[in-house]
Amino acid sequence: MRSARISPARRRVLDGASAGGPSGDAVVLAGARRAVIVRSRNARGNGVAGFGFVGPALVLLAVLYVIPTIVDGAFSLTNYQLGGQAGFVGVANYSALAHDSLFGQSAVNTLIFAVLTVGVGTVLALGAALLLSGSFVGKGIYRFLIYLPQSISFASGAVIWTWLFNAQDGPINAVLRDLGGSGVNWLTSPHVALFSLVIMSWWRDIGFYMVVLIAAIEGVPQYLYEAARVDGASAWKTLWHVTLPSIRPAMLFVVLTWGLGALQMFTQTYIMTDGGPVQSTYSVVLKIYTDAFQSLHLGYAASEAFVLLFVSIIIGAIAVRWFSRDLERS
């Protein structure tokens, strides 16, 4: 039974967190013999071995993820410049951020990009998943082709789409002109460029989320569909009242992962537009990058990075709450 793939794992994770592992009830349920073994294992100092196994991963995670996060918070309170001294300036960087119009513009661009990419992209991925699940001859090859862009790195994909979108010589405009239309300034018009980056991201990522959603859809128990058929529900009603509620955890997973990824938009805009035209595709991470490594204002860039960290963690926390509430209800 593959139903509701995400929820059992999450439940296990949450159980593990609140009760310190598959503790109490597991032992009770497994009966006396196992209880004896578990007790003797604890008595043999299993705890030390456990730390030995998880230790390297925890140390590396601390050094490479947790400490940098704290370092970032500390540096964001300084006027540190590359090659210079770090002086404490309090929250001056943050109040400067509030008046930094390019940061504001970048934040708005990034949000529009994320909402369009994930909002519309999830619907498209769901459509593809519904189209290609169930019994359907040749579904394997269709899935493979839609999934294939995942094998192209972001940088390669960005370079390829720079060519496809090229206004003078690019293939897309060539086809549009052959059809009697006029070319579009895909990457050179401030009204279009951000949307062009969204198209590239759809192309790159829809396949992955389609596969996630197919796995969830094919895990919905058949008897639910049969019950719907017996009740004479239309295809639309079946989708709305049977399929969608059953794959809610997978949908949340898609929106969360994709959304957090989209907020980090960088490679596309760095390679395809360099933030232009007229800063219409400037993203938060591109702003951090230029402030840190071109203007060398590392302290200021650290405060920008901290805002991004903070927003991501808040979104993550809200999503985790949704997940667990979902589980309580189901």
Beta carbons within 10 angstroms of residue 61's beta carbon: 12
Measured from the CB of residue 83, what is the shortest distance to another protein in angstroms?
10
Measured from the CB of residue 278, what is the shortest distance to another protein in angstroms?
20
Buried b or exposed e, range 168-207, using 16+ CB within 10 angstroms: eebebbeeeeeeeeeebebbbeeebbbebbbbbbbbbbbb
Measured from the CB of residue 224, what is the shortest distance to another protein in angstroms?
18
Measured from the CB of residue 160, what is the shortest distance to another protein in angstroms?
5
Q: Rounded CA gap, 312 and 263, in Å?
A: 8
Q: Which is nearer to another protein, 215 or 233 (CB)?
A: 215
Measured from the CB of residue 33, what is the shortest distance to another protein in angstroms?
10
* Residue listed under structure tokens 């592992």: 21
Q: Rounded CA gap, 240 and 218, in Å?
A: 16
Residue pair 280/193 in contact (Cβ under 8 Å)? The answer is yes
Q: Which is nearer to another protein, 228 or 265 (CB)?
A: 265
Residue pair 76/94 in contact (Cβ under 8 Å)? The answer is yes
Q: Rounded CA gap, 327 and 117, in Å?
A: 27
Q: Which is nearer to another protein, 52 or 232 (CB)?
A: 52
Q: Which is nearer to another protein, 66 or 115 (CB)?
A: 66
Q: Which is nearer to another protein, 225 or 266 (CB)?
A: 266
Q: Which is nearer to another protein, 193 or 247 (CB)?
A: 247
Which residues are 78's β-sheet partners? 88
Measured from the CB of residue 118, what is the shortest distance to another protein in angstroms?
15
